[in-house]
Amino acid sequence: MRLGIIGTGMIGASIGLRSRAEGARVLGYDASDEALETAMERGAVDERTSRDEIYARCEHIVIAIPPRATCAELRSLARRAADWQLLLDVASVKRSIMKASADVAKFAGTHPLAGNEGSGPEAASAELFDGRTWALVPSGDTSLDERARGFVSGLGATPIAVDAELHDAAVALTSHLPQMIAWLLSGKIREGGPLYEALCGPAGREILRLGRSRPDLWREILAENADNVGAAGTALARDLIATCNGVDAGNGP
C-alpha cells in the first residue's frame, strides 16, 4: 500500500512510523521543509513529494494539518476525480470539516484521541495510537466506512462511530475545555514561583504538562468549537460556584 501524508507533525509522523512498520510505503508532504526532513530522518516517511503527487499516486491519504488548513485543502478537492481509495483527516473538530468535505470523494472524517504536549515529528511515536479511541464520522458509504475502520485499527486504535455534532459537543467537555483550563491554571501556578510548582500533586503536575501544549494550534481548535466550549465552561463555572458555596451541584465526589 502507498500511503500519502499531508502534514508531518506529531500525528502525521506517528501515522507514518506505524504504517511503515506495517509494510506501507509512505509519501510525505509538509509546508515546512524542516518538519518533513525531520520526519524522514526519524523514519516516518520514505519519499518526499508534492500534494498533487500524493493525490495521484497513493491509495490511502491522511490530511494531518490544523483544522482551518484542512478545510481549505478539502475545498480544493471538491468534485475532483478520486484516484485514491480512502482520504481522511485527523482534526479534533468535525462539524467544519464535514461541511468543507461535502463534495470530496471517498472522504472519511476522523479524530484520533491521542497525543502529548509535544509537537512536530520529534514528538511522534509508532505506538501513539495503541489502545486509544479514534472517532469516525459515518459517511453513509458502508464500504468506505469499513476501509476507514480497517485503517484505524491497523494503527492500533479503537474506532468508534460518532456524529459530527455530537463529537464536537463531547470533546468540548472531555478535551478542549480541560486544555483551556490547564493553560489558565498552569499560568497561575508558574506565577507563584518554584514553591507553587514544588507543591503540585499528581493533578497539578498533569496540568503543568498540558499547559506546555502548542498554543497556536489549540487557539484555532478552541475558536472552531467556541460555542460548545463556552457552554461547557459556563456550566462548569456554575457548578464550581455552587460547590464553593456549599451547594451540592450533583457532579462532585
**pLDDT, tens only, 105-159:** 999 999 999 987 778 999 999 999 999 999 999 999 999 999 999 999 999 999 9
* Residue 221, all three cell numbers: 481548535
| H or E element at residue 209 | helix 202-210
For the segment 166-192, the average pLDDT, to the nearest whole number, is 92
pLDDT digits (tens, 9 = 90+) for 78-87: 989 899 999 9
Helix pair 67-76, 215-224: axis angle to 10 deg: 70
pLDDT band for 248, please (50, 70, 90 cuts): low
Sign, CA dihedral 117-121-123-127, equals: positive
Per-domain boundaries in the chain: 2-162, 166-244
pTM of the model: 0.89
Q: Are 232 and 172 in contact (CB under 8 A)?
A: yes
Helix pair 10-21, 33-41: axis angle to 10 deg: 30
* 2-162 and 166-244 share one fold: no
Choose the weakest-confidence range: 5-9, 35-39, 122-126, 214-218.
214-218
- Rounded percentage of the chain residues whose pLDDT exceeds 90: 78
pLDDT band for 253, please (50, 70, 90 cuts): very low
Helix pair 215-224, 177-191: axis angle to 10 deg: 140
Superfamily of domain 2-162: NAD(P)-binding Rossmann-like Domain (3.40.50.720)
What is the predicted pLDDT for the residue at 21? 96
CA triple 20-22-25, angle to 5 deg: 40
What is the predicted pLDDT for the residue at 251? 55
Residue 37 has pLDDT above 70, yes or no: yes
Give the separation between CA 218 and CA 251, rounded to whole angstroms. Answer: 27
For the segment 192-220, the average pLDDT, to the nearest whole number, is 88
What is the predicted pLDDT for the residue at 217? 82
Fold of 166-244: 6-phosphogluconate dehydrogenase C-terminal fold (1.10.3660)
Q: Across all residues in the chain, what is the average pLDDT?
A: 93
